[in-house]
Amino acid sequence: MYKHKNPYIIDFSNVKYYMEIHEIIKEALDFPDYYGKNWDAFWDCLTDMVGRQTNIEIYGFDTLQQKFSEDANLFIEIIKEFKHYRNDKYAHEITIRIIDGNTEQII
């Protein structure tokens, strides 16, 4: 559970079905088997990672937006909230980058 990776790489490039979104997240972030595969569970498991250096790179986000725009928006909202968790108390420990082609966005 929560094997430290540097960086954690979430790649949505080949996502086709809704449940694949959460399978990709679970595998990339090494979430436990009890991960509920929904946005509330994503938040819960993500915040369990607080307190240690966490570097996340997100690839294929454009694909996620095209196929599942509402879920892409929820994903980004949660990721941003995680970055600014507890009034930025841990912001210096969390780096989140979205990389699509030649474009890179740091959250």
Q: What is the mean pLDDT of residues 12-29?
A: 96
Structure tokens at 89: 């108390």
Single-letter residue type at 87: N
* Torsion sign (Cα): 99, 97, 107, 71: positive
Structure tokens at 33: 């088997």
**Residue 102: pLDDT band by 50, 70, 90 thresholds?**
confident
Q: Which helix (H) or strand (E) holds 39?
A: helix 39-47
How far is 105 from 107, CA to CA, in rounded Å? 6
28-75, pLDDT tens digit by residue?
A: 999 999 999 999 999 999 999 988 889 999 999 999 999 999 999 999
75-101, pLDDT tens digit by residue?
A: 999 999 999 998 888 889 999 999 987
Name residues whose C-beta falls within 8 Å of residue 20's C-beta, 6 or more positions apart in sequence: none
Single-letter residue type at 76: I
